[in-house]
Structure 1
Amino acid sequence: MLEPEHGLIRQVEHAHTKCWVCVLSCLLLASVYVGSLYVWRSSLPRDHPSVIKRRCASVLLVSALSPAAVKAWIHWADIRVDVSVWELMGVRLEGFVPALILPLLLTMVFYLGPLVHSAMDDPDGFTTELQSVLDVQSWRLCVRDVVWLRNQVVAPVTEELVFRGGMLPMLVPCAGPTAAIFVAPLFFGVAHLHHIIEQQRLQRDGMSVILLVAGMQFLYTTVFGAFTAFIFMRTGHIVGPVLCHSFCNSQGLPDIGFALQHRERTALLFSYLMGALLFLVLLFPLTDPFFYGAIPVCSLAPAPEPVC
C-alpha cells in the first residue's frame, strides 16, 4: 500500500528537480551571453566600432554554442524528445514561408501609427526608404555600417536564438507554454540591466537618471520579449521573432507624445488606435499554428494548452 505513495513522492521530487535544472540552465545561458560582452576590457563607449565588432564576435560564439547548452539541458533534466535540438529551437522548414511573413506583418500593423507619422512628416523620405529596400547599393552601405549590423542583424539573431529559441524549450516542461511566455522575458529584461554598469562607468548621467532609464528599458524589453516569446510558441519558428526584433529596432518606441503635438494629431491618433486594435484582432489569427504545422516545442508541455 505504501509503494504508490513513494512513487508519487519520487515523481514530485523529480518534477521539482527538473524545474530547478530548467531555471538554473536559463540563468547560466543568460549570464554567459551578457558576460561575453565584458570579456573585452575597454574604456571606449559601446557604440565605438572596435567595441561593436568584439562584442558581436562574442555573442555570435555564445549563440553558436546555445544548441549545445540545450542538448546538455535535455540530458541533465532527463527530457525525452522526438525532434532535433535545432527544431526545438525553431530552426526548421515546415511552415517557414508563413513564419517569414505573417509575424512581421502583424508587427508592422502595430506600427501603423508611427509609419503614417513618418509618411506625413517626410513623404519623400518615406518613399525613399521603401525604394531602398529593393536597392542593392543601399544594402551594401548598410552591411558596411557596424552599428546597423549590430542593431538589425547580430542583436536580433543572437538574442532571439538564446533568449527565445534556447530558453523557452527549457521552461516549457516546468512552467507550461503559457507561463513560459511570461517567465522567459524576465531573463531577457534583466540581461539588459548591464547597461547600468556602462552608463555609470562613462559618468554621463546621475545614478537616479541611470536607474530610471534602466527601469524603463527593463519594462519595454520584457514586454517585447513576451511578444516574441508568444510568436515563437505559436509558430514554432525563430525566424519570425528575429524579423520582428529587427523591425522594432529600426523603428524604436512609438512616440505618442510627439503625435499629440502634431498639426494632424486627430488623423495620427486614429492611425495609432487603428494599429493597436488591428494588432489585437489579428494577433491569434496570424499566429494560428494551422499555418506552421506541428510545433516541436509544444511537445515538451506536460499537458496541452491553448497557446500551442
Structure 2
Amino acid sequence: MQVEHTRTRCCVCVLSCLLLACLYVGSLYVWRSSLPRDHPSLIKRRCASVLLVSALSPAVVKAWMHWADVKVDASVWELMGVRLEGLVPAAVLPLLLTMVFYLGPLVHSAMDNPEGFTGELQSALDVQSWMLCVGDAVWLRNQVVAPLTEELVFRGAMLPMLVPCTGATAAIFTAPLFFGVAHLHHIIEQRRLHQDSMSVLLVVSGIQFLYTTVFGAFTSFIFMKTGHVVGPVLCHSFCNSQGLPDISSALQHPQRIALLFSYLMGLLIFLVLLFTLTDPFFYGAVPVCSLADPEASAR
C-alpha cells in the first residue's frame, strides 16, 4: 500500500511539473505573430503571459498538495521560497557567490574598458544608464521578467513537488531537466524565421540545453540550501547580464596569463565558498526540506 501511495504521489508530481512547464512555454505562443522575439510589442505580450502563469503557480502547488495528500506546517508561499526569515543574506550571499564565479569575465571586461576598473564601477553605478535600461523591453525581459518568472515556476513551484518523490538531493538534478527542455522551444522560433539550417539549430539547442540544465542545477541547489527564491532570481538576472564566460576570447587576449589566472581563481574561490555561503545557518529552517521523505532522501 505504501509503495502504491508513493508511486501515485510521484506520478502526480511529474504530471504537475509537466503541466507547469507546458503552461509556461505554451503561454509564449498564445500570441500568433510574425514578429521576431525581440520586438517590443511581442515582448510585452509574452511578459504578460508568463507573469500570469507565475501568478497561477502557487495554485498548482496547492492543488498538488491536495492530490498527493501532502501536509506540512508551512504555507504554499513559504514552500516556494517567498518568506522573510533570512531574506537579506538570501539575496546577498548567493549573488556574491555567483559574482565570484564570474571573476574572470569581470576582470576581462575591466581590462577592455579604456577607464579600467574605475570605469566599470562608474558604469555599474550610473543612475542614468539604469534608467535607460528600465525603458528597454529586451532588458526588462532578460533581467527582470525571465529570471523572476522562470525561478518562481521552475524552482519555487517544481522543487517542492519533486522533493517528496525524489528526495532533496535528486530534486536538485531533476528539476533542471524541465528547465532545459523548456528552452528547446527556441528551435521553433528560429526555424520559423529561417535563420539557420535544422542541423545547426539542433547543435545550438543541444548546447543551450546543456548549459541551462547546469545553471538550473546551481539555482536549484541555492534554493534547496537557502529556502528562498530571491537568491536564484538575482543569480539568474546577473548571469543573463554576463552571458557565458568567453574563454576563447581570453585565450587570445594580450594579457591572457593574468586573465586566465583570474578565471581560475574565480572558479577555485567559488568552489571553496559554495557550501560556506549556502550554509542554512544564515537562512534559518528551510521549509521545502520538511517535505523530504526520509526513504526518498536516502536514495
Using structure 1 for the length normalisation, give the TM-score. 0.94
**Cα distance, 1:200–1:125 mapped onto 2, change above 3 Å:** farther
C-alpha deviation, 1:141, in angstroms: 1.1
Does the residue aligned with 1:105 lie in a helix, a strand or coil? helix
* 1:202 aligned partner: 193
| Cα gap change, 1:265 to 1:258, in 2 (>3 Å) | same
Alignment partner for residue 269 of structure 1, among 257, 260, 275?
Answer: 260
CA distance in 1, matches of 2:296, 2:10: 19
The number of aligned residues is 298
1:31 partner amino acid: C
Q: 1:19 aligns with which of 3, 7, 10?
A: 10
Q: Which amino acid aligns with 1:161?
A: L
Instruction: Give, in angstroms, the shift of residue 50 of structure 1.
Output: 0.5
RMSD value over aligned CA atoms?
Answer: 1.5
Partner residue in 2 for 1:142? 133
Given that residues 67 and 166 in structure 1 are in contact (C-alpha distance below 8 angstroms), is that contact kept between their aligned partners in structure 2?
yes
Give 2:239's match in structure 1, choosing from 248, 251, 261: 248
Structural mapping, 1:159-198, within 5 Å: 159-198=150-189
Higher alpha-carbon deviation: 12-21 or 126-135? 126-135
Partners of 1:143 and 1:91 in 2: CA distance? 24
Cα offsets for 1:21-46 (capped at 9, x unmatched): 00110000000000000000000110
Is this contact kept in 2: 1:56–1:150, CA < 8 A? Answer: yes
Q: 2:147 — aligned with what?
A: 156
Residue-by-residue CA offset, 1:145-198 (whole Å, 9 max, x unaligned): 000000000000000000000000000000000000000000000000000000
Aligned mates of 2:26, 2:203 — CA distance in 1:
23
**Aligned equivalent of 1:91:** 82
Point out the more displaced range, 125-134 or 267-276.
125-134
Partner Cα distance (1:125, 1:306) in 2? 49
Which residue matches 2:66?
A: 75
Report the TM-score when normalising by structure 2.
0.97
The reply on whether 1:225 has 2:219 as its aligned counterpart is no
Deviations 1:40-86, CA, capped at 9 Å, x for gaps: 00001100111100000000000011111110110011101111100
AA aligned opposite 1:130? L
Q: Aligned partners of 2:124, 2:249: CA distance in 1, in Å?
A: 27
Letter in 1 for 2:239: C
Amino acid at match of 2:151: E
State the structure with more CA Rg. Answer: 1
Looking at structure 1, the residues matched to 232 and 40 of structure 2 have their Cα atoms a distance apart, in angstroms, of 26
Matches within 5 A, 1:121-136: 121-124=112-115, 127-136=118-127
CA shift at 1:121, angstroms?
Answer: 1.1
Identity of aligned residues (%): 82
Q: Which of these residues, 292, 297, 305, is aligned with residue 288 of structure 2? A: 297
Return 5+ residue gaps in structure 2 as ranges: none
